[in-house]
Amino acid sequence: MLNILSFSSLPSAETGQLAAAIQTANDTTTSLQSIGTWWMWLAFFTIVLVVLAIDLIFVGGGKQHRVSLKEAGSWSLVWVSLALSFGAGLWFYLDAHYTREFANTKTMEYLTGYLIEKSLAVDNVFVWLMLFNFFAIPLELQKRVLTYGVLGAIILRTIMIFAGVWLIAHFHWLLYVFGAFLLLTGIKMWWMADKQIDLNNNPLLNWFKRHFAISDHLEGERFFVVVNGVKLMTPLFLALIMVEISDIIFAVDSIPAIFAITSDPFIVLTSNIFAILGLRAMYFLLADIADRFAYIKYGLALVLIFIGVKMLLIDIYKIPIGVSLTTVAFLIGGSVLISWIKTKPAASGIE
């Protein structure tokens, strides 16, 4: 189990020393120590359950509800505000119980992890959009698939994060494996950024088509249908399978990336989960303007390359967390700005 430490009742001098000890342990990424106390974990999971219920009940409303751009934008703002509020609360707590420097460092780790995961989630959203277009899933039916997709992503990331923290604590050399993997993934993403994915030749999708009976058309929100005594998988369920598989693929990219920032399980998990809580709202927000983000893959590729290099250099030179946060924000913000400028619709007018 994780060594969850609670120091709120200790004298300030001892608290500062223990804060430094935690930071040193995290810098070497060989400890399972965490700033999370039992009540902080309990509060976090309670918040997650509550906001998940709100998301599932209110975002999209009833069955086959078409989420409007305004509705998706409003809820996206709510989720981002919630994540930033959590970060602010974390800073105030750490500042009151530890040291100002420690509070600044941990909060920047949280924000950097959140920004990395949120940015990579944008690419995941575009893959979902491609899948829904391929399977001809109408917007009002996509909500059901995305519900399971987000729930699956939360469960999967929670398992992978705790497993990853344990592995890194016991096998430090894995950081170099993760670093090399992210570096190569970033290079590949840059190389493939302007290439289209042909789902007709996707081996996994073709495998499902060969081994399972699939209906030719949708049956509302149903995942399975019985025709002439034969149970058939609907295209909606096949889309769900591909969405879940895409979650796994993107988790393999994003989770190692945050270990370059911190090994504190509380920071890793909270930043990751808060980043994906509003994925459904973000999907509906970006669905109609995906073409305006033509260059974001290049920004994401550079982020992965930077994080990969950071991990490979971890025992030689530790890049300050402030530099990491600034670099990631600059790369993502720059790619979004360039995309927005380059894809700006031409002004119509009569000369």
Give one DSSP letter per residue of 98-117, joined into a string.
Answer: S-HHHHHHHHHHHHHHHHHH
pLDDT at residue 8 is higher than 50: no
- Asked if residues 334 and 299 have their Cβ atoms less than 8 Å apart, the reply is yes
CA distance 94 to 280: 31
CA distance 299 to 190: 9
Cβ-Cβ contacts under 8 Å for 204 (sequence gap 6 or more): 242, 245
Single pTM value for the model: 0.82
Sign of CA dihedral 31, 257, 145, 217: negative
pLDDT per residue as tens digits for the range 36-75? 889 999 999 999 999 888 877 775 554 555 677 788 888 8
CA distance 29 to 185: 22
pLDDT per residue as tens digits for the range 154-196? 998 899 999 988 998 888 898 999 999 999 999 999 988 777 7
pLDDT at residue 141 is higher than 70: yes
Domain boundaries, the chain: 3-342
